Amino acid sequence: MIYPTYEQADISLQDPAAVRQVFLEGYENGLSACQYGAVASYIPELAKADGSAFGLYAWKKDGTILDLGDTTTRFSIQSISKVINLAVALKYRGFRDVFSHVLMEPTGDAFNSILKLDMVESRPFNPMINAGAIQVMSLLEPEFSFEDLLAFAREICLDEEIRLNEEVYRSEAETGDRNRAIAWLLKSKEVMQGNPDRITDLYFKMCSLNVTAKSLAGLGLVLACGGLNPFTGKHLIAPGYVRTIKSVMFTCGLYDESGEFGVRVGLPAKSGVGGGIVCSAPGPMGIGLYGPALDPKGNSLGGLTALEHISHRLKLHVFDYE
Ligand code: GLN
């Protein structure tokens, strides 16, 4: 992992020019880190991404934006859809019901690991790993169509242009045997109800939503505003559920790199193997990143690098007191 060295943190959030400079430095650090990463190839369609692409979009409640680099390219949301699915599940099934089906513990294992599921505890450890997200999807599949979930994704990402990426969906569906295995294992243990094929199909479709760095900034902004769309005043998720979602993102959002990200960046975030990262920050501010060159754990290397710089320089870490 390539991280910049620490410098003195002395920038005020109230100084727009200084803040812009910090974001620019973060962007430049992130851009140069991309050369050390590699695009995901286990879903064949993802291997076509341009590993040198990098974009950063920061969006504040007052409408202020910072738009750097590649922020209009559409790419698949992948695991970041787990945040959206969890939001819908909490909204319609409630906290108790959701967390009687899935735990809220980080695993320290890879996102698609099956290990703990069979050896430690039958319920998936958290909603941000594949097993947990598939379990959450089993709670939604009987009630919600793909169109319903897509409509919610558009609302919560402040992006009406989000659509299904058919190529990525087909590629995932063709090569998603491990996810199907997870679903059938959950079914065999009777922790999951329903039809594993239909459930994984909906999971694949949600992973294949085409977003931009800006859509992810929109999602981060709504989360930073406690579930409120700051531009329309519409409540999309209750603040208590947003607190839950951000806590799970903080502890589990970066797979088996969540602990290190918590120490180095200290903000709720979620990554996807398409190269996206959504981050919810004080301000309130949403930060969306796109950099498909990944580190070995499956996280955007440029995204991690940029976020560490920005969080440190602006003292955004949740445990920075001042
Ligand atoms: N669709 C991917 C999978 O299920 C999502 C994983 C990810 O982004 N980490 O394998």
pLDDT digits (tens, 9 = 90+) for 129-177: 999 999 999 999 999 999 999 999 999 999 999 999 999 999 999 999 9
Ligand 1, atom nearest to 172 Cα:
1
CA of 63 to the centre of ligand 1 (A): 32
Residue 45 CB–ligand 1 contact under 6 Å: no
What is the spatial order of strands in the sheet that 65-69 belongs to?
A: 65-69, 55-60, 285-290, 276-281, 269-271
Helix, strand or coil, per DSSP, at residue 163: strand
Tell which atom from ligand 1 comes closest to the C-alpha of 208.
1
Question: According to the CATH classification, is domain 16-314 in 3.30.479.30?
Answer: no
Residue given tokens 């919600």 in the structure block: 144
Cα–Cα distance measured from residue 156 to residue 294, given in angstroms and rounded to the nearest whole number: 26
Band the pLDDT of 119: cuts 50, 70, 90.
confident
The tokens for 152 are 């919610």
What is the set of active-site residues?
Answer: 79, 82, 203, 255, 273
Residue minimizing CA distance to atom 2 of ligand 1 = 78
Cβ count near 15 (within 10 Å): 11
What's the whole-model pTM score?
Answer: 0.95
Query: If you measure from the C-alpha of residue 59 to the centroid of ligand 1, how many angstroms do you get, rounded to a whole number?
Result: 26
Q: Which of the 8 DSSP states describes residue 246?
A: H
Q: Kindly write down the DSSP assignment for every residue of 88-117, as one continuous string.
A: HHHHHH-HHHHHHHS-----SS-TT--HHH
Ligand 1 atom closest to 272 (CA): 8
Instruction: Tell me the H-state helices in the chain.
Output: 16-33, 81-93, 95-101, 115-119, 130-140, 146-156, 166-175, 177-188, 196-207, 213-224, 239-252, 258-264, 301-314
Least confident of 5-14, 176-185, 303-312: 5-14
Could you state, in order of their start, the residue ranges of all structural domains in the chain? Answer: 16-314
For ligand 1, the distance from its centroid to the CA atom of residue 61, given in whole angstroms, is 30
Q: Is 83 in the pocket of ligand 1 (CB under 6 A)?
A: no
Task: Please say whether the beta carbons of 82 and 149 come within 8 A.
Answer: no
Q: What is the pLDDT of residue 8?
A: 53
Q: β-pairing, 75-76 with 65-69?
A: unpaired
Question: Which residue has tokens 């009687």?
Answer: 100
Kindly state the DSSP code that residue 76 receives in the 8-state scheme: E
